[in-house]
Amino acid sequence: MDPNSFEGYNETAPLRNGSRTSAYLPVDTASRTFGTSYFLISTLLASIIPLIELGIGLHYKGQCPIDQRIPTYMIVAGVCGLVLVGLSIFLAVTFMCFIPDSTALTLVASCGVCLNVFATLVVSIFVFIWFILGCIWVFGIRKEVQFIIPLAPNYCNPVLYKWTFALLVLTIVWAFLQCCVSCIRQCCFGRSD
């Protein structure tokens, strides 16, 4: 039996109310979170941190004899952060342009969202582990590092070390604030049903 022989069959035609099936993704809930201007703007603002990390890591590579992993941490964190920002922007645009009544577009968007979520999950797990390692490396040498004698084994460029330290703290604060704002938005403006 040929599916194209059905009367009114068109993959881009809106679904009829009577034949509506349940969506694979909770589109309405996800769209309220990821398809908002707030999500897009906060993602773009968050891209400032990985750009700074990448720039400082590249500029001061090799200028931290006490622990050469610190500039490497900055470079990898910056690159991974930019990848996450790109994935987040793609997710936001997908939900902003989502057409829930179109069968073909819904399927394509659902597959894109699923792949995006999987890639974001994998990169996020790596970034979380990398962040913990960065905290250990940076906070662990805080009392030993000196910024005056460049040839000393416990030297680290002050710009590199202090910015890394500050960005780690800023990342912790940013994550905490984002959680608080998201919880407040969900509690105050969330579900009305």
Residue 148 belongs to what domain range?
A: 24-185
**Does a structural domain hold residue 16?**
no
Give the whole-number percent of the chain exceeding pLDDT 90.
48
Q: Which has the minimum average pLDDT: 56-65, 86-95, 123-132, 161-170?
A: 86-95
Average of per-residue pLDDT across 168-174: 89
Asked if residues 29 and 107 have their Cβ atoms less than 8 Å apart, the reply is no
**Does a structural domain hold residue 165?**
yes
Average of per-residue pLDDT across 137-161: 95
Tracing tokens 């105050």 back to the chain, one arrives at: 188
pLDDT in tens, 33-69: 565 677 778 888 888 889 999 999 999 999 999 999 9
3-state secondary structure of 165: helix
pLDDT at 21: 47
Q: How confident is the model at residue 30 (pLDDT cuts 50, 70, 90)?
A: low
pLDDT at 20: 47
Q: Please state the separation of Cα 61 from the chain's center in Å.
A: 25
Asked if residues 67 and 137 have their Cβ atoms less than 8 Å apart, the reply is yes
**Dist. CA 75–CA 81, nearest whole Å:** 10
Domain count, the chain: 1
pLDDT at 79: 97
**Dist. CA 41–CA 186, nearest whole Å:** 18
pLDDT, mean over the chain? 81
pLDDT at 155: 96
**Does a structural domain hold residue 106?**
yes
The token pair at 152 is: 């000393």
Asked if residues 155 and 146 have their Cβ atoms less than 8 Å apart, the reply is yes
The token pair at 164 is: 């890394």
CA atoms within 13 A on the CB side of 131: 17
**Does a structural domain hold residue 2?**
no
Q: Phi and psi dihedrals of 11, rounded to 5?
A: -70, -20
**Does a structural domain hold residue 66?**
yes
Nearest of 46, 53, 47, 49 to residue 70 by alpha carbon: 53
**Does a structural domain hold residue 175?**
yes
Q: How far is CA 95 from CA 40, 42, 48, 154, 163, in A?
A: 11, 16, 23, 49, 35
Q: CB under 8 Å to 123, separation ≥6 — which residues?
A: 80, 83, 84, 87
**Does a structural domain hold residue 12?**
no
pLDDT at 85 over 80: yes
Q: How confident is the model at residue 193 (pLDDT cuts 50, 70, 90)?
A: very low
Q: How far is CA 61 from CA 99, 137, 156, 161, in A?
A: 47, 15, 11, 11
**Does a structural domain hold residue 110?**
yes
Q: Does the CA dihedral 89-40-72-122 come out positive or negative?
A: negative
